[in-house]
Amino acid sequence: MADPRLTRLHPYIRDRQEQLVLNYKAIEGGRPYIAARLSRHACESETSWQGTRTIGGNVAGIQGRKDRAFLVNYAGRIARKINQLVTSGDITREGIDPKFERDASATGLSIGQFMDRVGEFLTAGGWAWIGIDRMAAPVDDQGQPRQRSQAEREASGDRVWWTAWRAHEVVDWRFGPGGNALEWLITEERKEEGGDDPNKAPVPMILRTIWTPGGGVRLYAKAETPDKVEREEKFTIGSPVVPFVPVGVPTGCPCWFDDVEMVCASILNLESAHNENLVQSVFPQLIMPTGIIEWIMQQANCNFDRAVTMARGLNYPIIEPAEAKGVTRYLQPSASDLEAIPNEIIRRRADLFEIVGMALSRDSAQVESAEAKRIGLLDVSAVLAQRAEILQTAEGASVAMSEKIDQAFKIYAPIYPTAFDVGDIKGELESLLLISTAALPDGAKRELAKAFVRKLIKVGKVDKVREAELLAEADEDQVPDELAAFSAAGRPADGAIQDTALNGAQVASLLEIAIQAASKGLPIETAKEIAQAAFPAIGPDEIAKIFAPLVNFKPAPQPAQGFAG
């Protein structure tokens, strides 16, 4: 009879387990995800699908389509990009123990790397868990924990460490009345026993751990009999708590990443099909009339198999009767047919990033209102702020739980950013340049210069000390020479601003000419001549001031766009 402790599942896990496993495979990528999601075509032969050789096995023969398939891991890029955006601001952990900051897990992850991992699990599953553990303290003759010095503890490796758990790895749990502290919780892992003995083959085991306040029990079962307990081990912890913290809110409802995973699976299958089409077009299928085989047999005085080999070379032909077309030819798809699948992949990739809520890249020809851009950026900022709040709450709760398990644990307060600058850098810089053409008072010029400095800091990742120095310089100075040149173009010396000032469209046109010159799209002298002809109200001296800083100007390399990993 099956032991219910080994088989029970929370209703949320029972409903979501299959999709959760796929989501986590998607962000990890590689061969496991391909094996889980690549589909065999309805009429595909065993040789085409499986081949006669396998990766890591028989190296001779034909490699099947499932082994030739490859994955462009969009799901992993998305999860990492969201983490990068959340952690792009300043996360402070005032008072954290430097040793714990460097090594927060049992596997050597720093606290930043650990919380990145938790963030990936949260993205893929909709929720995750942080487990807090500590080596069991030695006991005295009466079975009570024995007090040890800090030096003894460090020498024995006795410390608190955190573990990130995927949503489906915590298979069941129960919160107290009102959703308060956990009453109990069950985790499940795959382990191998006997790995420490080089003379024995390791035995795959399933480990279920039932965590209760102050301790629990570990249940071991063999992989081939997962519902039968092989042995039990009781354990204790140093506090009457269940040492787990939820990250996010567990739910039985689908999450948005389910859609991401399903689109990634469809792209994987389309890419594989397209690759096969390309292979088939490079090695087209031969069609020949049956009569040619008989003719070869007669002329070469050979048997049928030899005649077919001579006729087909290295490919397998389709044999059609003589009353058919009777023309030896190659069967292959047209160029337009080959284009259909890549076009569909592009469309589905656009759907994928629409699901995420952020575009992989923006079409430069697309016209979008300022209102639409503002709303879109607010949506992204709000999602990132919510994610940061979830991670901050979970890390803070884990710190408090750690202190309960080990009173020597050093308390600290994690503070995550609440505002995120996710705007278009190029567009914002162009807006600042447009503003600089106005006749601004000195105080506004300084604020404008500081705005430029802040954008520089965002792009260049300037440290805090240098950031303060640059802002102080901008506050003390007037306005950079380049901005002054642009500003002077729209502000005549005699003060007759209304007579010669450029309107917004004219300023944008002049700015575009300057950008073309700066990016070497136009020779500077040509750009000056165009500007002078287009804007006769601006004197030659002012035109020269505008373009003078661009003579030796070298554009900074642009960062890669989209969800690069």
Which one of 57-61, 177-181, 287-291, 326-330 scores highest in mean pLDDT? 177-181
Query: Which range, 269-273, 286-290, 350-354, 369-373, is most confident?
Result: 269-273
Answer whether residue 491 shows pLDDT above 50.
no
CA distances from 246 to 178, 189, 401, 554 (A): 15, 18, 12, 50
What gap in Å lies between CA 22 and CA 38, rounded to an integer? 12
Mean pLDDT over the full length of the chain = 77
Q: Which tokens in the block code for residue 399?
A: 């710190």
Long-range contacts of 58-67 (CB under 8 A, 24+ apart): 65/272, 65/276, 66/34, 66/35, 66/38, 66/40
Structure confidence by residue, pLDDT tens digits, 319-334: 555 565 555 555 566 6
How far from 544 is each of 511, 526, 532, CA to CA, in Å?
14, 12, 10
DSSP for 182-232?
Answer: EEEEEEEEEEEESTT-TTS--EEEEEEEEEETTEEEEEEEETTSTTS--EE
Question: What pLDDT is attached to residue 488?
Answer: 47
Q: Would you say residue 105 has pLDDT above 90?
A: yes
The rounded radius of gyration (Å) of the Cα atoms in the chain is 33
How far apart CA 487 and CA 507 sit, in angstroms, is: 10
CA angle 296, 297, 300 (to 5 degrees): 75
Neighbouring C-beta atoms of residue 169, cutoff 10 Å: 20
**What b-and-e string marks burial along 379-392, b requiring 16 or more CB atoms within 10 Å of the CB?**
ebbebbbebbebbb
Contact 453, 510 (CB under 8 A): no
pLDDT band at 350; cut points 50, 70, 90: confident
Instruction: For residue 37, give both structure tokens.
Output: 């999601």
* d(C-alpha 167, C-alpha 121), whole Å: 7
Q: Which residues lie closer than 8 Å to 264 by C-beta, 6 or more apart?
A: 26, 37, 74, 75, 352
pLDDT at 303 over 70: yes
- C-alpha 492/C-alpha 466 separation (Å) is 36
> Does residue 487 surpass a pLDDT of 50?
no
> Does the structure show a pLDDT above 70 at 200?
yes
Instruction: Tell me the C-alpha distance between 166 and 153, whole Å.
Output: 30
Q: Are 565 and 78 in contact (CB under 8 A)?
A: no
More confident residue, 473 or 233: 233
Q: What is the residue-wise DSSP string for 432-478?
A: HHHHTTS---HHHHHHHHHHHHHHHHHHHT--HHHHHHHHHHHHHS-
489 pLDDT more than 50: no
* Predicted pLDDT at 119: 94
Tens-place pLDDT, residues 367-387 = 344 444 433 444 677 778 888
Question: So what's the pLDDT on residue 490?
Answer: 42
